[in-house]
A and B are shown apart, each in its own frame.
Chain A
Amino acid sequence: MNLDLRIPIGLMFALAGMILAAFGLKTDGNEALYARSLGINVNLWWGLVLLAFGLTMYVFGLRGQKRIEKEKNRK
């Protein structure tokens, strides 16, 4: 297979994390919205977690992709 799966996974989660965190920042301090989540701004925090996860996957994915291409060239 020519595509390291970690690249699309990383991209997707990084993007989703960014959107979620941005939404969280914009709505920060909106108590009515976050009453259900016990006053925690889950959008912001979980968005950041997803962003970090996505970037890690992406970086590892790029490394893996290089290896795949190297192996291909050798063949």
Chain B
Amino acid sequence: MLLYFGFVVGIGFALKPNMKTSKDFFQAGRALPAWICGLAFISANLGAQELIGMGASGAKYGLETAQFYGIGAISAMIFVGIFMMPFYYGSKARSVPEFLRLRFDEKTRALNACTFAAMTVFSSGISMYAMARLMQALHVFDGLFRSQGWAPQGIFTFSIVLSAVIVLAYIFMGGLASAIYNEVLQFFLIIAGFLPLVLLGLRNVGGWSGLKASVPAAYMHEWKGVAHASTNPMGVEIVGLGMGLGFVLAAGYWCTDFLVIQTAMASKNMESARRVPLIAAVPKMFFPFLVVVPGLLAISLPTPHSTTVTRVENGAIIRETTVVSPQVEQGRGLVPAKMNPVTGKPMLTASGEPLLDYDMATPNMLLHFFPTGILGLGLTALLASFMSGMAGNVTAFNTVFTYDLYQSYIHKGGSDRHYLMVGRCATVGGILLSIGTAYAAINFNNIMDTLQLVFSFVNAPLFATFLLGMFWKRATGHGAFSGLIAGTATAMLHHGLTLPIEARPGIHGGWIAVLHHYPSDMAQNFWTAIFAFWMNFIVTVAVSYCTKPRPESELVGLVHSLTPKPERAQLVWWKRPEALAVAILLTVIALNIFFY
């Protein structure tokens, strides 16, 4: 672990002499090779939520979770690479909100920049909190604390400060380039830590067919049963899945979130920038194997129960009792039940079943299969995933803050050195704010859920704005702005009026009135996104027709129909992004048929 930390900070030092201008710091000088950016592209997203959350969904919903990859991420990545990257990279915008200003107007950008900056800070705080909790639960630093004689309560603070200091150190010195380099390092580390876990786990249940035999049949199919909500574990029908996940949620995330787009914009030329998401899609195809399967394996194992073994040894009767806490016993496989911290009893769902703490699926797998030695590697991988997610958030925050808020509204026309300094301060400020969020999350347990909910309201309609902006030259700034507001309002309203079947009204929805029940929270999420998307779409179109269009000469390079086709005769056909995209698409289809 120490070795890893040493290298992480070392990269920051090694890159420091390169950071002379704000462009170097915020955009990595736009000089990185495509493969590095590609791996960073997925690694920025491979944060804690991904690693822990996908394992959790794997345990909860089975192989259908892989849909997040197949029709979710991969197709969105192909779309952003082929169709959208030319506008991001070609428009010379330095951030996603800045693109919105070029295409629409100041207020759309300000709205997007503010919500985005707030979101990155809070989500990195939330992931910090989650990490510190996990470090506590897994007793990672217990040995260290005991040997130093420190109070065990300090573990939480220690984990937060440790990760914050490391991330701060390398971003402060090396900027985006350093964050990207480290994300690549983390990418390999995560594979190194999780691949042996999957291999051991599969071997334990007797290979793929053994896994098939030990979990309910519905868990092993990606597509079977999606025609109707009641016949698949996720409770989502094909329309909600395809539209909600594929078209709106995943596309909205991968195509508009500056967190991931920034890595592609750091590459050295247009062709590489377009290849970045495509290169990223290749390993992404195989990620379900790495992150979803551990969750499945966790529920396939027998649930531990308290047992008493009686044996006779040298005439004496020896009773050995293994006591398992009710938390574990009420669980399923390696997934423990969620405990109520006040009463100490397992929490129950509305239907009386014990509520399972699926987030522990992947971490418990690590503890179950790894002996000392490689366990350190596995935990480092987990830590690395937290830090890569955090680092991505922090670099996205400092760029958006400096370019879109500070330079545009607070202090215009300063020197480049000045902005470089501001960027570094923003890095420190962003991390401090994240730490604050992490501590706020301790005291108000609901704050995390609430924040994530609010983000989903803001994010759900975004993709419609970009889609219209890039492919419909008539769309206007007023249209985009009112569309975004209407979309967010719709998302809120929809959430307030519906409820997943197993939850009580409140944070999970239905806080206005319950008009409709969804079979799962996943289904509710998808439909919220669908409604928000179409509301934004309709309002943007309607308002655009009522307002004055911008002259076409201003939109060259920003809208599809007004942008000259890029010259790419110098590339052999199989090196073109399109060829790569088709190859990826075919492989994904093949994988999907195989896991049907």
Contacts and interface: CB of A to CB of B under 8 A. Distances in A.
Contacts of B29: 1
Given A8-B7, A13-B192, A37-B200, A42 B371 contact: yes
Q: Interface SS of chain B: helix, strand, loop or mixed?
A: helix
B31 A1 contact: yes
Contacts of B7: 8, 11-12
A71 B356 CA distance: 57
A12 B3 contact: yes
B566 to A, nearest CB: 24
Contacts of B371: 33-37, 42-43
Contacts of A46: 192, 196, 374, 377
B402 to A, nearest CB: 21
Nearest to B188: A9
A72 B374 CA distance: 41
Nearest to B14: A3
Interface in A3-50: 3, 5, 8-9, 11-13, 15-16, 19-20, 23-24, 27, 33-38, 40, 42-43, 46, 50
A23 to B, nearest CB: 5
Contacts of A2: 18
Interface stretch (B84-92, B177-185, B233-241, B462-470): B177-185
B200 A40 contact: yes
Contacts of B185: 5, 8-9, 12
Interface residues of B, number: 31
Contact of B200 (A8, A24, A42, A50): A42
Interface in A51-66: 53
Given A33-B371, A36-B370, A9 B184 contact: yes
Report which residue of A12, A24, A40 has the largest number of chain B beta carbons within 10 angstroms of its beta carbon: A12
Interface of B: 3-4, 7, 10-11, 14-15, 18, 28-29, 31-32, 36, 177, 181, 184-185, 188, 192, 196, 200, 203-204, 368-374, 377
6 contacts: A1-B28, A24-B373, A36-B368, A37-B369, A38-B203, A42-B373
Given A1-B29, A3-B11, 16 more contacts: A1-B15, A1-B32, A8-B185, A12-B4, A16-B3, A16-B192, A16-B377, A19-B3, A24-B373, A36-B371, A37-B369, A37-B370, A37-B374, A38-B204, A42-B196, A46-B192
